Amino acid sequence: MTAERDEINALRAAQNLPSLEEEALIDVMVAAKEALRADRSDENYAAKRAASQALAAYRVEARAGRTVLIPGES
């Protein structure tokens, strides 16, 4: 699996695209930002949806053995 991921990341780098890990982290941060924005505007459904997406992206990172640090959390 690591060799496949390395090959995919090499192809993505050749096209100036983020690595799979960077893309997953970007997805986590975007979903978290959407959740915060929705929470401030009191759109409960949107907040739950964005939080769910952030959790799903976090699980991808966790399965890959990476730690995702979320700003404001210790």
Per DSSP, the three-state class of 62 is helix
Cβ atoms of 9 and 19 within 8 Å: the answer is: yes
Task: Look at 56 and 39; give whichever has higher pLDDT.
Answer: 56
What ranges do the domains of the chain cover?
22-74
Nearest to 33 by CA among 16, 12, 57, 17: 57
- pLDDT at 31 exceeding the cut of 80: yes
| pLDDT value at residue 40 | 61
Sole residue written with tokens 């769910």: 52
Residue 4 to residue 11: CA distance in whole angstroms: 11
pTM: 0.44
